[in-house]
Amino acid sequence: MLELKNVTTEIAGTTILRDVSFSVSKGSMVGLIGRNGAGKTTSLRSIMGLIKPKAGQVLINGEDMTNQGSYERAGMSIGYMPEDRRLVPDLTVEENIMAPAWACQLGNAEARLAWIYEMMPEVESFSDRRALQLSGGQQKLVALARAMMTGTNLLLLDEPFEGVAPALSRRLASVLSTLKDEGLTVLLSESDQSHSADLVDKAFQIERGSVEPIASLT
Task: Name the residues that contact other proteins, by CB under 8 A.
Answer: 48-50, 69-71, 73-75, 80, 82, 86, 88, 99-100, 102-104, 146, 150
| Residue 79 C-beta: closest distance to other proteins, Å | 9
Strand runs (DSSP E) across the chain, as ranges? 2-11, 14-24, 29-33, 55-60, 63-64, 78-81, 154-157, 185-190, 202-207, 210-213
Which of 102, 122 has the CB closer to other proteins? 102
> Considering beta carbons, is residue 104 or 197 the nearer one to other proteins?
104
Tell me the CA distances in angstroms from 104 to 58, 61, 208, one per residue in order: 22, 19, 35
- The rounded distance, in Å, linking the Cα atoms of 95 and 102 is 9
Q: Are 203 and 175 in contact (CB under 8 A)?
A: no
Shortest Cβ 216–other proteins spacing (Å): 32
Cβ 82 to other proteins shortest distance, Å = 7
Q: Which is nearer to other proteins, 140 or 146 (CB)?
A: 146
Q: Which residues contact 195 (CB under 8 A, 6 or more apart)?
A: 161, 169, 172, 173
* Complex with other proteins: residue 127 or 150, whichever CB lies closer: 150
To other proteins, the closest distance from the beta carbon of 67 in angstroms equals 14
We find the least distance from the C-beta atom of residue 71 to other proteins, in angstroms, to be: 5
Our CB check for other proteins shows the closer of 63 and 212 to be 63
Neighbour tally for 73: CB within 10 Å: 24
What 3-state class would DSSP assign to 206? strand
